[in-house]
Structure 1
């Protein structure tokens, strides 16, 4: 019996020691891609379609969203074999878009923003409400252009209705101190 127990112990020890074999795995490449998007290419133009779940965040601050979720230097590195002189990157969502022009070094040259169905900033909303009593806001659009990151122009175009009366207003967002589309 003593021999049987010793042989079982030796067998278990041998099994445990042989199970300690080191397995070397192949290299795994990981990268951070916070935008779970569809990408389309047309020449040196690339279009990113933003998921509905991120579209409010995108509309709130399009340039900030682009900076946080898009690395132009990495993008240039991935397209280095094409040797572009400039890049046009468009971000589309259900309510609007941001077009960004970059030079070959990755510097932001200009942007164009277009958004529909935006929620007007509180200051503009209150002024319109006070000046147009009885009217209902039916459409609100926002468009803006930047040179680099400096806002060159920003406009809200809103449509108001009161029965058969209709009004269309263009409001310069820079004059009101507001220059970001908020949804």
Structure 2
């Protein structure tokens, strides 16, 4: 009986000693990105779709959104083996897109934006109301182009209707900020 107890104790100590081994794991890094990479047919064009829960932030300020969530240096590291002269990166939602053209060194050269049926900024809404009291908006589009981070051209095209008449109003938001200086 003593032998059986001793054997059982040795077996239980053996199981416990194996359970006490510490396994050290490598560090795991988890990143969250609101961008989903999608393949395109053009070899030097890259498409990122914006996740639905981030569409509002993207539409509010596409350039700031791109700068917050897209790292061009990391991107060039990943595709640098292809040795392109420039990279065309498109950020897209169901409302429109922002295209950014980067040099091979990662410098932002040109941008182009095109969006349809978006919420208008307050200054544009006020100007539209001033020009078309009593009219209803049917649809709108926004187009912008720029060099680097600066937008050179911006234009809202807004289609309005009133009593079966339609017309298109064009509003340049840069013109709205030019307030006349009060005279004496």
Structure 1 and Structure 2 fold alike (TM over 0.5): yes
By how many angstroms is 1:168 displaced? 0.7
Q: Which runs of 5+ in 2 are unaligned?
A: 178-184
- Name the structure 2 match of 1:90: 90
Worse overlay, 12-21 or 150-159: 12-21
Larger relative contact order (Cα-Cα within 8 Å, sequence gap ≥ 6): 1
> Where do 1:167-178 residues align within 5 Å?
167-177=167-177
By how many angstroms is 1:5 displaced? 7.1
- Name the structure 1 match of 2:31: 32
Supply the distance in 1 between the matched residues of 2:168 and 2:88 (Cα, whole angstroms): 32
Q: Given the two structures, how large is their TM-score scaled by the length of structure 2?
A: 0.83
Q: Given the two structures, how large is their TM-score scaled by the length of structure 1?
A: 0.84
Q: Which runs of 5+ in 1 are unaligned?
A: 178-183
Q: How many residues align?
A: 177
- Name the structure 1 match of 2:180: none
Supply the distance in 2 between the matched residues of 1:95 and 1:58 (Cα, whole angstroms): 10
Q: CA RMSD in A?
A: 2.5
String of CA shifts for 1:23-70, please: whole Å, max 9, x gaps.
455x57646350341412312111122232222211111111111111
By how many angstroms is 1:83 displaced? 0.6
> In the alignment, does 2:154 pair up with 1:154?
yes
3-state secondary structure, aligned to 2:21: coil
- Name the structure 2 match of 1:116: 116
